[in-house]
Structure 1
Amino acid sequence: MALETVEQAQVLTLENPEIRLTIRPDLGGRIDQLEDLQTGHAWLWHPSHYAPETTRSLAVGDSFDDHWTGGWDEVFPNDAAGPFQGRNLADHGELWSQSWQVLETSPLSLTLGYQCQTVPVWVKKTIQLNANRPEASLVYEFKNQSEQQIPFLFKHHAAIAIEAGDEILLPDCWVEPAFLEFSKIIGQPGKTRFPKAIGASGKAVDLRVMPPPSSQLQEFYYASELAKGLCGIRHQRSQSSLLMTFDTADFPYVWMFQSYGGWRGHYVVVVEPCTTLPSDLEEACRNGTAALLQPQEHQRRRLMLHLQRD
């Protein structure tokens, strides 16, 4: 583990012979970069204006989209901002915008903690790198410090650097547009079996292969009833894949946000294993699809990341 301070930016690294993770406690405790040391490929996307040597100071409630600089954020306790059960919840929650405490370090592991402000919850994250293989475990612990039940949404928000011809990886599952007015590939409401969907013309479209940025397309869909807990991206040029695996009891859904030049000019796919559906927590509660923290409950959820080379 290496720790350095460059113009107040806190940078931590976990590394084995196969993989290097760069972590930024000052930027929401996120994984800022994920590098394959065998292929040289850097998996995580950042906008062209991102300056990794600098830090930032944001208030809880600042706009996520206006301050988004890529990497692997986490979203909790909500996605859509607004009042909920007497609380004013922030845009994309609050984990991403605030600095986390470094609790424990070792050459292959890091534990971070954060005390939430919008809900009475303590969050702890442990990243454990395998000693020899290109994989790591991400374990999240949530402690409800109150005597009230807390409905919540928790999701990964991994911005993946992509190239035309790369592929989205999902198991057999149902997919449906999150917001049809945003969709430029899926053209009709309702569920279809991945990788097929119905375009605006009524013809079948394949959701796997990524178009070039010149397409100016964008898409955002939810995946549910996953045959197994798996999602990821295959990078064609390096002949390798980034896979996330998990228990579907921990993450029953995967959200896939895609901008192929169409949204703010970005060319990126955001892979989002999630506890909850849809983005509106009130609606999720009505549907019975919100995750729940019972009074004083201590809850644990785990995800594994793997690099797989052909």
Structure 2
Amino acid sequence: MNAIVLDNNILRLRLDPDFGGRVSELTDLRTGRNWLVGGPSVGSPAQEATFGVEQARGWDECFPSAAPCLVEAWPMPLRDHGEFWGRPVAVVAAPDSVTLTAQAGPVRFQRVLALDGDRLTLTYRVFNEDTAAMPYLWGQHLLIAPEEGDRLELPGLDSLDAAFLSHGGCVLTTDPVAFPDPKRDDLPLLDRIHPLTANFAAKLFAPVPAEAAARVVGRSGSFNVSWNGEKVGYLGLWLDYGGWPAESPVSQISLAPSTAPMESLADAVASGKANCVQPGAAHEWTVIIRIAAEKDSLHD
């Protein structure tokens, strides 16, 4: 009932400020395709809440960790899927943009979403209000509902590190995989969309070039994500074609700009890959999503 809608007659975006600013709809009005995994927002504001298949809908922001963990600098245990999902956030809405602000301990997190034609520009800001440096990890958890015939394109990437691999009901070793052909364990081609019967799921990470990009291209257009790889240095790729969870398989993918090649801030700190914002300082980065119409999708 408290949803906010941005609509410029090309794209329509719907978000819920009472559920962490979750975006539940991102529709290309020219084709009618909602690119996001649909369904009700299910979850709990509790610190011990867990994120599973019933919660895996739409688009959330994972900050300051995507996995639950303990980090000495933070005054509380960090919860699964970040501090915001399922919790109210402050919102300032304008005709073609909306600004969301939320607090995670001593760190203020802000996201500005602005529509301009077939583009959605996202500006992120992190402010440290503490007197000590604060480490953090951020990942854009945007779940795309794939369609038959879609293809994945990862410009400049030919290898990815595996954080999780499952195929045919078996969890595999997390050795690196080549893109698009993994060339191991009879894994399916990674640039193609597969049916649920593929029984395959993977969470993969890769460092990105300075001009980072990832896209899904199909008959109904293309979903293009671009960002500055010098500020946000990794792509997180989630592919699920009936491989997770075993008891209720789903089909979903995610092209996730990420500040570290893992989901736990504790692991990022231990490996020296966590971002760190100094006292009184701020970090800012931008992600651009372009949803091209069918006739333009081969020319992005």
Tell whether the structures are fold-level matches, with TM greater than 0.5.
yes
Secondary structure at the residue paired with 1:110? strand
Paired with 2:200 and 2:43, the residues of 1 have a C-alpha distance of: 31
> Which residue pairs with 1:111 in the alignment?
99
- 1:140 aligned to which of 98, 111, 124: 124
Deviations 1:139-158 (A, max 9, x none): 11111111111111101000
RMSD: 2.3
CA, structure 1 residues 221+183, in 2 after alignment: closer, same or farther (shift >3 Å)?
Answer: farther
Deviations 1:94-131 (A, max 9, x none): 122211111x2211011111122xx311111111111x
Paired with 2:171 and 2:70, the residues of 1 have a C-alpha distance of: 31
Paired with 2:112 and 2:216, the residues of 1 have a C-alpha distance of: 23
User: What letter matches 2:23 in structure 1?
Assistant: I
- 1:262 aligned to which of 229, 243, 268: 243
Paired with 1:158 and 1:57, the residues of 2 have a C-alpha distance of: 19
In the TM superposition, what is the alpha-carbon distance from 1:30 to its structure 2 partner?
1.8
> Which residue pairs with 2:106 in the alignment?
120
Paired with 2:109 and 2:266, the residues of 1 have a C-alpha distance of: 22
**Do residues 194 (structure 1) and 183 (structure 2) align?**
no
Deviations 1:138-190 (A, max 9, x none): 1111111111111111010001011233222211223111124x466996644
Q: Where does structure 1 lack aligned partners over 5 or more consecutive residues?
A: none
Paired with 1:56 and 1:280, the residues of 2 have a C-alpha distance of: 20
Answer yes or no: is the 8 Å Cα contact 1:177–1:186 preserved in 2. Answer: no
Paired with 1:43 and 1:196, the residues of 2 have a C-alpha distance of: 25
Paired with 1:115 and 1:228, the residues of 2 have a C-alpha distance of: 30
User: What letter matches 1:107 in structure 2?
Assistant: P
> Which residue pairs with 2:214 in the alignment?
231
**Do residues 157 (structure 1) and 149 (structure 2) align?**
no
Q: Where does structure 2 lack aligned partners over 5 or more consecutive residues?
A: none
Q: Map of 1:1-310 to 2, 5 A cutoff?
A: 5=1, 10-46=2-38, 50-51=39-40, 57-65=44-52, 68-85=55-72, 87-102=76-91, 104-116=92-104, 119-130=105-116, 133-173=117-157, 174-180=159-165, 182=166, 189-201=174-186, 206-226=189-209, 228-234=211-217, 236-238=218-220, 240-264=221-245, 265-309=249-293, 310=297
Paired with 1:155 and 1:192, the residues of 2 have a C-alpha distance of: 21
User: What letter matches 2:160 in structure 1?
Assistant: V
CA, structure 1 residues 56+215, in 2 after alignment: closer, same or farther (shift >3 Å)?
Answer: closer
Answer yes or no: is the 8 Å Cα contact 2:211–2:229 preserved in 1. Answer: yes
Paired-residue identity, %: 28
In the TM superposition, what is the alpha-carbon distance from 1:287 to its structure 2 partner?
2.5
Aligned length: 287
Paired with 2:17 and 2:139, the residues of 1 have a C-alpha distance of: 18
In the TM superposition, what is the alpha-carbon distance from 1:279 to its structure 2 partner?
2.1
User: What letter matches 1:226 in structure 2?
Assistant: P
Paired with 2:177 and 2:53, the residues of 1 have a C-alpha distance of: 32
Answer yes or no: is the 8 Å Cα contact 1:114–1:124 preserved in 2. Answer: yes
Answer yes or no: is the 8 Å Cα contact 1:172–1:193 preserved in 2. Answer: no
Output the TM-score relative to the length of structure 2: 0.88
Paired with 2:252 and 2:21, the residues of 1 have a C-alpha distance of: 21
Paired with 2:40 and 2:128, the residues of 1 have a C-alpha distance of: 36
Secondary structure at the residue paired with 2:211? coil
In the TM superposition, what is the alpha-carbon distance from 1:33 to its structure 2 partner?
0.6
Secondary structure at the residue paired with 2:197? helix
Paired with 2:185 and 2:93, the residues of 1 have a C-alpha distance of: 51
Paired with 2:185 and 2:234, the residues of 1 have a C-alpha distance of: 25
Answer yes or no: is the 8 Å Cα contact 2:43–2:55 preserved in 1. Answer: no
CA, structure 1 residues 66+266, in 2 after alignment: closer, same or farther (shift >3 Å)?
Answer: closer
Paired with 2:84 and 2:154, the residues of 1 have a C-alpha distance of: 26
